[in-house]
Amino acid sequence: MDDQFDLVVIGGGPGGYPAAIRAAQNGLNVALVEGKEMGGTCLNRGCIPTKTLIANANVLKQAEDAEEFGILTGGITFDYGRMVDRKDRVVGKIRKGVEGLMASNKITLIRGWAEYLSPTEIKVKLANGEDKIIHANKSVIATGSEPREIPAFKVDGAKVHDSTTVLNLKALPKKMVIIGGGIIGCEFASLFKTLDVEVVVVEMLPTLLPLEAKSVSDAIMKHFMKQGIKYFVGTLVERLEHQGDQIEIVLGNGEKVTTDMALVAVGRSLNTNKVGLDKAGVHVNEKGFVLTNEHMETNVPGIYAVGDIASKWWLAHVATHQGIVAGDHAAGIDATMHYEAVPSVIYTTPEIATVGLSLEQAIEKEHDASVSMFPYQAIGKAQAENHTDGFAQIVWDKKTGAVIGAQIVGHDAGTLIAEMTLAIQNELTIESVTETIHAHPTIAEIWLEAALQAHEKPLHMPPRRKAS
Ligand code: NAI
């Protein structure tokens, strides 16, 4: 059986389904092919399930801290199995919503695995084993990534997990060693520590979160130490050995760490090798990324690529934006992708959010840059809520006053970064921030104070002593 569409999207994650919706909104006849659940890694095995588990853990933490607020709770216990059930309910509800959006936008959802036969012809292996051939002059590849497999760290889903299998634990171990201190490793470290698991993180580079600004990596290491999360940095994990019921983690320096369970979080690999890119004539670079122009179009006119496979930004919201650009451009609208203001949120305790340049990157790019910092402690709303740990900082260009970066470590950092994202996207200055009335009492006042700090005129901070 053959079918003809204007545009076919391969992959139903946060890159693919927005591309399909936007193309359909633009009047194209669209099909979307997905082999697993709609919503991709983000909805089913990433952002949403992890953030739901983290939300559960945060409620536990609030309950444990209740006495500070005059609330006496008595002994607090929790049932991890019920936390996991709640995570599955939240994911299921959102997945239904996404499937509903496909139907309401009249997108044909085809369940199966797609492979190009030519630039305009795609074979879909359906769940019932049959092949379906579909034709479209235009297509979007949005096949994403999955946890990187390393033979020395064989994931068995019982004692050794990756970021997918660990989501389905029914009970928590006493001790968890996490291999890799990147975003995934650090988020799970915070989650499991809040749930009273003994956590050890091993990272081969010299800091945790090695890709972040130094002030951010330093802050998370300080907080982890304070919270009792043990970590080794500059330490390679060589291999894992099963010793009865336990796992031995063999480090590069010959030391061994014994644990009940291990989580492998050493990066992800791209899903580009099973889609028949060669038959479509689509080029990938030596790292496996599909090369695109600023419209997300590959070297083959009419074939687009979005999401993890298409840029170094492995973030759901970047994929979504790229999907919208592809869905517009495929319909003849002159849409382009920009990356100057990409926010990124790391859901550790405390939360971390960044956008634009760090001070180190700004100096490297030859900006005459400065950084203005303000602590949560001096913000009234942070005191009221007992969220006094952390800081916000703005990186700005001293010549133009332009805001070029921001980092925030502290409560609700992920929500708060939106203001700086808008500022950078619209090339606003430090003065634009100081001239903006910030509602009181809110933690967002931290940006106003950090901006005032740029000219050494913060309100809620004593003047710096001048050298006499
Ligand atoms: P990652 O590349 O950020 O971190 C992996 C870490 O493992 C690296 O720091 C690396 O040095 C270390 N490592 C590798 N081999 C090792 C070994 N043998 N021994 C010790 N350390 C070793 O990858 P991660 O954390 O798996 O995340 C993958 C991607 O997913 C990230 O790029 C991120 O953008 C995305 N992501 C984003 C989230 C968010 O935005 N909140 C949440 C989760 C993932």
Active site residue 440: yes
CATH code assigned at 158: 3.50.50.60
Mutation test residue for ligand 1: of 184, 271, 289, 308, the one with most atoms within 8 Å of CB: 184
pLDDT in the model for residue 468: 55
Number of domains in the chain: 3
What is the mean predicted confidence (pLDDT) over 427-450? 98
DSSP for residue 337: -
Ligand 1: does its nearest atom lie under 6 Å from the Cβ of 204? yes
Q: Is residue 20 part of a domain?
A: yes
Residue spans of alpha helices (H) in 46-182: 47-64, 80-104
CA atoms of 94 and 97, how far apart (whole Å): 5
For 359, list phi and psi in degrees, rounded to 5: -60, -40
- Token digits for 11? 């992959």
Q: Decide: helix, strand or coil at residue 195.
A: coil
Ligand 1: does its nearest atom lie under 6 Å from the Cβ of 347? yes
Q: Which of 242, 338, 440, 455 is catalytic?
A: 440
Ligand 1: does its nearest atom lie under 6 Å from the Cβ of 237? yes
CA atoms of 230 and 338, how far apart (whole Å): 39
pLDDT in the model for residue 463: 81
Per-residue pLDDT tens for 249-281?
999 989 999 999 999 999 999 999 889 999 999
- Token digits for 102? 């496909």
Ligand 1: does its nearest atom lie under 6 Å from the Cβ of 203? yes
Task: Quote the ligand 1 centre to 179 CA distance (angstroms).
Answer: 9
The sheet with strand 256-259 has its strands ordered as 237-243, 246-251, 256-259
Residue 251 and residue 298 in one domain: no
What is the mean predicted confidence (pLDDT) over 283-298? 95
Residue 241 and residue 369 in one domain: no
Task: Tell me which residue has tokens 């451009």.
Answer: 329
Mutation test residue for ligand 1: of 150, 183, 421, the one with most atoms within 8 Å of CB: 183
Nearest to 410 by CA among 201, 195, 222, 188: 222
Task: Quote the ligand 1 centre to 272 CA distance (angstroms).
Answer: 19
Residue 10 and residue 112 in one domain: yes
Ligand 1: does its nearest atom lie under 6 Å from the Cβ of 183? yes
Per-residue pLDDT tens for 359-411?
999 999 999 999 999 999 999 999 999 999 999 999 999 999 999 999 999 99
Task: Quote the ligand 1 centre to 210 CA distance (angstroms).
Answer: 9
Residue 160 and residue 231 in one domain: yes
Nearest to 33 by CA among 276, 233, 212: 276
Positive or negative torsion for Cα 321, 326, 331, 333: positive
Final residue in a domain of this structure, among 239, 266, 293: 266
Residue 169 and residue 135 in one domain: no
pLDDT in the model for residue 464: 76
Final residue in a domain of this structure, among 266, 287, 311: 266
Per-residue pLDDT tens for 77-124?
999 999 999 999 999 999 999 999 999 999 999 999 999 999 999 999
Report the mean per-residue pLDDT for the chain.
96
- Token digits for 335? 């849409």
CATH code assigned at 448: 3.30.390.30
Ligand 1: does its nearest atom lie under 6 Å from the Cβ of 267? yes
Residue 20 and residue 140 in one domain: yes
Q: Is residue 282 part of a domain?
A: yes
Ligand 1: does its nearest atom lie under 6 Å from the Cβ of 265? yes
- pTM value is 0.95
Q: Is residue 460 part of a domain?
A: no
Q: Is residue 461 part of a domain?
A: no
Per-residue pLDDT tens for 313-356?
999 999 999 999 999 999 999 999 999 999 999 999 999 999 99
Task: Quote the ligand 1 centre to 414 CA distance (angstroms).
Answer: 19
Q: Decide: helix, strand or coil at residue 179.
A: strand
pLDDT in the model for residue 451: 98
Per-residue pLDDT tens for 204-225?
999 999 999 999 999 999 999 9
Residue 37 and residue 92 in one domain: yes
Task: Quote the ligand 1 centre to 336 CA distance (angstroms).
Answer: 28
Statement: residue 2 has pLDDT above 70: no
pLDDT in the model for residue 272: 93
Nearest-CA residue for ligand 1 atom 22 is: 180
Burial class (CB in 10 A: 0-12, 13-18, 19+), 438: middle
Residue 352 and residue 318 in one domain: no
**pLDDT band for position 8 (50/70/90)?**
very high
- Token digits for 421? 């994202």
Nearest-CA residue for ligand 1 atom 28 is: 267
Whole-number Cα distances in Å, 11 to 38, 41, 287, 341: 8, 10, 21, 26
Q: Is residue 134 part of a domain?
A: yes
Final residue in a domain of this structure, among 237, 266, 295: 266
For 218-368, strand residue ranges (E) read 230-232, 237-243, 246-251, 256-259, 261-264, 268-270, 303-305, 344-346, 352-356
Domain residues for 387? Answer: 344-453
Task: Quote the ligand 1 centre to 147 CA distance (angstroms).
Answer: 10
Q: Is residue 465 part of a domain?
A: no
The atom of ligand 1 lying closest to the CA of 182 is: 4
> Is the preceding peptide bond at 151 cis, omega within 30 degrees of 0?
no
Statement: residue 1 has pLDDT above 50: no
pLDDT in the model for residue 127: 87
Ligand 1: does its nearest atom lie under 6 Å from the Cβ of 314? yes
Q: Is residue 335 part of a domain?
A: no
Task: Quote the ligand 1 centre to 21 CA distance (angstroms).
Answer: 30
Task: Quote the ligand 1 centre to 463 CA distance (angstroms).
Answer: 41
Distance between first and last Cα of the chain: 86
DSSP for residue 366: T
Nearest to 337 by CA among 19, 4, 51, 8: 19
Nearest-CA residue for ligand 1 atom 3 is: 182
CA atoms of 457 and 145, how far apart (whole Å): 47
CA atoms of 256 and 251, how far apart (whole Å): 6
Q: Decide: helix, strand or coil at residue 217.
A: helix
> Is the preceding peptide bond at 458 cis, omega within 30 degrees of 0?
no
Residue 354 and residue 442 in one domain: yes
One-letter amino acid for residue 87 of the chain: K
Q: Is residue 464 part of a domain?
A: no
Other C-beta atoms closer than 10 Å to the C-beta of 16 total: 30
Residue 181 and residue 304 in one domain: no
CA atoms of 309 and 22, how far apart (whole Å): 20
Residues facing 133 on adjacent strands: 2, 123
Q: Decide: helix, strand or coil at residue 297.
A: strand
Residue 62 and residue 200 in one domain: no
Statement: residue 295 has pLDDT above 90: yes
**pLDDT band for position 59 (50/70/90)?**
very high
The atom of ligand 1 lying closest to the CA of 152 is: 18
Ligand 1: does its nearest atom lie under 6 Å from the Cβ of 184? yes
Residue 116 and residue 188 in one domain: no
